[in-house]
Every structure is written in structure tokens, then in C-alpha cells.
Amino acid sequence: MKGFARSMMECLTGVGGTTSRQAILWGRSPAPGPHHIELWRRLDSRPLGGVDFSLSRAPADRDVDDGTWVQPLGPETGMVFEASTDYGYRVTTQQGEMVGEGNFRTAPEGAEAAPDRLCFALMSCNQPFAKDGTDDERSLGLISRTPAALRRLDVERVLMLGDQMYADLPEPRSLFDEDYFPLIAPHGRESILECTSEEVRRIYQDRHRLFWSLEAMREIQANWACTFTIDDHEILDNFGSAPDHATRAYAALREGALEAAFDYQTSRAFGRVDARPAHFGHGFHHGPVSLYNLDLRSEKRNVDGNVSMFSLDQYTSFIAFLRKAAHQPVLLIASSVPLLHIPDWLVNAGVALTSMEGDAADRWSYEGVAHSRALFLQALYDHRKRHPKQIIILLGGDVHVGFASELHFPQGDVPPVYQLVSSAVTNRYSPVAQYLASLLPKATGSIGDFLDGEVSAKFLEGEGSNPYGDLNFGTVEVTRDAKGYDVRLQLHGVVDDDDVQVVYDSGPLR
């Protein structure tokens, strides 16, 4: 069966955060009772041992507990991992039925002990269905080839930068469609906005399993440590940008959708399923690379036209992480919505011509976001000035075009900051829309006032198409030689229905 006619996936497994001595496995199982995790070192198949855990009841008997689980592995569970080593795992029920299997690689033990080459992949926007809900074969061309490409590239980790599932697309199957919702609605509910947070949570859990029924999507999660950033479509298009989204009418939707996103995505970063954190912002270190994952969605609020992108708590967490990462050669800052995309004049004109619910108001460039943008840019500038030798790269998704650019501060006293945007991995626009999306970044001259001037941006030179308007995923390659560290930014796509190939290459950026 295809598309929305297919059965939802019952069993899923995935890899969450890894360090040099620990790993986190995540999964979903429909079976109650004991489960067993078996591990081994892939190089020589040497057994590493096993871990048992139990699910108390079958999902059908539960309220909002969907059978998802998180299991940290490491010294506390009797596991002795080696750094930069590949391991295999298998998860089974007490009856020996397979829940899932895959592989993961532990992180290096610090920068000095890391391999001379590390590669990180990023992707976003997984909506592979045609308008009628069937599989869009054109949208599957890249994702079906991506696992093999990630292996060829020897990718360490995969950064999922938002819209891993869509609550509101395709439109005839949207949870907000008045004809479709009654087909899946709880008894007595005519609209998703009438549901309790618990009901919303169950509906959005099912939505995750539906969108993750793609074999390649499951394979990526099962075999690479994945870091998740949620975005608007995991709740509702442009959620948080409209004033109504902060009202009581949307409170249950927000709560239930965020709980489901924690169940299926971000719990594997925090290593627990018992309590959702106040925000999903978090960071990690991987050899010479540090990454902070900004959560720009779960705390987004529009109050009287002033849009806050994040809370003070998350901002404080981000600043603290920057201090801890100061010694690292490479710093990555990931967010769902790219910092640099559309200039202020175009965004604000778009808001005036449409509404607060439109895409334009959802951008960093919108004038109502000025306060959050100023806070972020000030932190970025201060860190850049204190650590001019560190290579800093902003990572983003969302905008249905891939491109690489560099940000210049007006003072001219600090090196540039690079940016790589990758989108979409399956959500294919029409050829005309793809072309227009690829034109928008070319309009970018600045993103607004900062200190006494403007922050300017320009496209990076290199080989290939920049911007690139078709389906793509990105990579950040970090290499070390006698002179120090280089980074290389690439976009990968499928051309003429061939294999995955590099469609843009920045070349070395020392």
C-alpha cells in the first residue's frame, strides 16, 4: 500500500546522542512486557552485552503512552564503549520478535584524538505525499538514495532541522481539513482545536509514524546518531507567528503537539521520556566540533506584534554553551529557520500584503522579531570577536532551497560567519515554485539593523549551483592537516534520475 493508505509503522528504532563512552537508543514498540537490547562491536562482531527494559502495557490500552522508549547505554548499564568505534544493536521482545536493529558510532575522545576527517549531514522538510495522499515518486528520488550516500560520505551524525513530519500537508489529508479530520477524530470532536492536549498528542504520534513509514527515513534514524530540531509543521504552518497562536484556543494544540514531538524526536537527545523540558535547545561536543541546536518553535510567541523566538532560559543556555565551546576549532549553530534568507524590505512588504499567518512573518527578517534577532546577533558577534580563529557555521532548513553564504558584521573587525541551508529532502515544489524559491536568497543584501549598521550577507563562491532549488541534503566536512582545520560545505542532490551527487561545493574554508 502507498501513501496515506499504508499502515502506520508499528516498530521503530533510532540512535540519539552519542559521546565517546555513551549512546542513547530510542524506539517505539507495540508489544507490552520485557524487551532486550543486544550490542556488539561491528569490526569483529565481539559481543558487548545486553540491556533489558520493559513496557508496561500495549499502546492500545494506554492514554497518551504510545510505546515509545529511550534507553541510555554506557557505564551505568555495564557497557564499556570505545571512542570513534562502530557498534551494532538489535532490539527484540521477550518472545524474540524484532523491534529494530541498526548501527551507531561513538564520538571521538576530544579534538586531538579525533580522526583527521569528520562529516556531518543536515536535512529538513519531509513531506513525500502528493495532493491526493499517495506517494509522490518524484519526491522519493533523493531520500531513497540518501542512506547509501551517507555511507559513502562516512557521515558521523545527521542533523534533522525541522518539519520531519507535516500535520497540515498534503492539504486534503491535513489535520485542519474539515473533510479529513472527522475520519480520524476522537468521538465528539469536529475540529483538532476542540481536542484535549492528550487527544492531540495521540493524533500527532500517529502522524509521526505515518510520515516515518518511508523505509529510507527509518533507515537513517536507525543507523546514524540523529539530532532533531522541530519546526512549524510539526504543529501548524508558521506556528507562533500569529497572535492567535498564543491564545487559549491553541493551548491544547501546542501542548499535545510538543509532547508528541518529544516522544518521537527530541527525547532521544535528553535521554528520558518522563518529562518534557521547557525547550528543546541543547548542545553537544563531537571531537573538534561543538554544536548548539536552537529551538525556535516551541517557545515562539507573538504578543502585540513583538515576536519572541526563544525564552530567556534558552538564551542563557545558549550563551553558556558558547563559553564551553570556546576552545573548539569548529562551532556549528543549528536552527530550523535560517538566519539569512530574505531581506527586511521584502519580508515586511510580504506581511503587509498577506497576514501574520504568512511565511514572511515567520522569518528572522520580520521587523517584529527585531529584539530576538538583536540578542542572537549580539551574542554571535561577541563570541566571534573573542574567538576569531574559530570556524563558525550557521545551519538551517525550512526555505525549500539549498544555499551557502557568509555573514559579515559592519564593524569589519571580525572574520565572517558561514551559513549552510539545506531544504527540502522530500517536499518537492512545482518547477516554477522551486525556481522562485531559489531566487529569493539572491535578493538578500542584509537582514536588518545591528549596532550602528547592517549585517551583510553574500553567496559563497565554489563549484556548482548556489542556490540550488531542487531536493537536497547538505554536509559539513571538517578536515585537519599540519596547518590546522578546514571546513567544506556541500549540497547533494539527484540530477537526471541518477545517483546522489555533489551539486554545490564551497571548497576548503579555513
Task: For the chain, give the mean pLDDT.
Answer: 90
* pTM above threshold 0.85: yes
pLDDT tens profile 147-185 = 999 999 999 999 999 999 999 999 999 999 999 999 999
Does residue 451 register a pLDDT over 80? Answer: no
Burial status of residue 103 (CB atoms within 10 A of its CB: 0-12, 13-18, 19 or more): middle
Please provide the size of the chain in residues. 510
Cβ neighbours of 408 (radius 10 Å): 16
Report the relative pairing of strands 157-161 and 225-229 from DSSP bridges: parallel
Listed in order, strand segments (DSSP E) in 215-256 are 225-229
Supply 319's cell numbers.
550563551
pLDDT tens profile 198-255 = 999 999 999 999 999 999 999 999 999 999 999 999 999 999 999 999 999 999 999 9
Residue 313: pLDDT band with limits 50, 70, 90: very high
Q: Bigger pLDDT: 343 or 142? A: 142
pLDDT tens profile 324-364 = 999 999 999 999 999 977 554 444 555 455 555 567 778 88
Structural domains in the chain?
A: 3-19+107-509 (3.60.21.70), 20-106 (2.60.40.380)
**CB-based contact 120:155 (threshold 8 Å):** yes
| Distance (Å, whole) CA 176 – CA 168 | 6
* pLDDT > 90: percent of the chain: 78
Query: What is the per-residue burial (b if ≥16 Cβ within 10 Å, else e) of 411-445?
Result: eeebbbbbbbbbbbbbbbbeeeebeebbebbeebe
Q: Bigger pLDDT: 345 or 259? A: 259
